Amino acid sequence: MHKLGYTRSTSQRGHLLHTPDTFVRTVLPGMEHATAVVHISPAGGAAFTQYSADLEPGGNLGITSNQRFIYVLEGAADLATETIFHPLTTGSYAYLPEDCPHTLTAQQTTRLAVIEKPYESLGSTASPDVLVGHEDKVLSVPLNDDPDLQVRNLLPNSSSFDFAVNTMTYQPGAALSMVEVHVMEHGLLMLEGGGIYRLGEQWHPVAAGDFIWMGPYCPQWFGAIGKRPAKYLIYKDWNRNPLV
Ligand code: UGY
Ligand code: MN
């Protein structure tokens, strides 16, 4: 049933809210038995690409020569590179450096959040190696001493990485303590719960399944509403000089 043209999705110059009712599926090069919803890409104004991928059992993620970050939203998949073989389950994540041939094969119906970005080197700093982890094993730290707002940094605190991916969990009623305006951009996937997101000059109701892109300097604020925690996965460019 259509909704007479109504949607919460909105695409603005400096931000995007992408809600599931507007998702259009595509197949990216090399994907087999899998589809993708591309939430944001350079075509939309971002310096990275983020998509959600749905894989059937035996399905494969496509190819890339860029850096790739994968977070398993649901299901199970095997990651293989020339040097490692690693089973991934819900909450697992993997970082693949650029020019790292690999396969990602679903062992059951699997949903992934995927982020891709060309690598920006930093002088003589060595580029990162393949990394696999699980969110449950990452230490959770309060943001600005607020125990009701917990952050997990999924990638190591190393300047070899040119981006960061974190999860942020808000207890009901918790909120960012300030409106942030910063040079970094964000790709954000709502994983659980919901609340109100300020993007630019407007406040939007958001819920699990929604994606948000915030461009550089997009005024942003979030408050969790509801009886259960709100949680999101958030990307930002990191560790590099904005002038480069
Ligand atoms: O890392 C961040 O900039 C984060 N606090 N931003 C956000 O949640 N919108
Ligand atoms: Mn921010």
CA of residue 38 to ligand 1 center, whole Å: 22
- pLDDT at residue 2 in the model: 86
Nearest ligand, CA 143 = 1
Residues 6+ apart with CB under 8 A from 67: 95, 96, 97, 98, 116, 117, 118, 119, 162, 163
The finding on whether 67 has its CB within 6 A of some atom of ligand 1 is no
CA angle 182, 47, 128 (to 5 degrees): 95
- Segments in the chain below pLDDT 70: 244
- Which of helix, strand or coil describes residue 44? helix
pTM: 0.98
Identify whether the C-beta of residue 117 lies closer than 8 Å to the C-beta of residue 52.
Answer: no
The finding on whether 236 has its CB within 6 A of some atom of ligand 1 is yes
Tokens coding 222: 């979030």
Minimum-distance ligand 1 atom for the alpha carbon of 166: 1
The finding on whether 52 has its CB within 6 A of some atom of ligand 1 is no
Q: Which helix (H) or strand (E) holds 230?
A: strand 230-237
CA of residue 206 to ligand 1 center, whole Å: 16
- DSSP letters, 64-119, are -SSEEEEEEEESEEEEEESS-EEEEETTEEEEE-TT--EEEEESSSEEEEEEEE--
- Which of helix, strand or coil describes residue 160? coil
CA of residue 165 to ligand 2 center, whole Å: 12
How far apart are the C-alpha atoms of 160 and 153, rounded to whole Å? 15
